[in-house]
Amino acid sequence: MVRTYDKLVRDHIPDIIEENDERPVTHVADSDEHERRLAEKLDEEVAEFRESGEVMELADVLEVVYALAEGKGISPDELERLRAEKAAERGGFDDGIVLERVE
């Protein structure tokens, strides 16, 4: 049975498919396609988290975010530094403040 996906998958997924006696048809994305596919994957993973609320889906979101950052030459540590810097300047989301309007 042929199933079509046309999406970026984790690196070990083709091996897992082969272990199930199926044949994955793949290609390696060039840098432009890779960045585009990662952005699509981010949307997919965020939607999955919104639907399920599962913490493991947040881990998937984070994995995609790290890959996107790496593509921009930013390490996870540097990304965390940037996040902390912005939080120090503008705050986080701990207080649940909803801006309704500015008058």
Q: How much of the chain exceeds pLDDT 90, in percent?
A: 99
Instruction: Write down the pLDDT at residue 7.
Output: 96
Any residues with CB less than 8 A from the CB of 78 and at least 6 apart, and which?
69
pLDDT given for residue 55 in this prediction: 96
Task: Report H helices in 9-52.
Answer: 13-19, 31-52
What integer pLDDT is reported at residue 1 of this predicted model?
84
Q: What is the mean pLDDT of each run of 10 residues along the chain (103 residues)?
A: 94 97 96 96 98 97 97 97 97 95 95
Q: Which long-range contacts does 68-73 make (Cβ < 8 Å, 24+ apart)? A: 68/35, 68/38, 68/39, 68/42, 71/31, 71/34, 71/35, 71/38
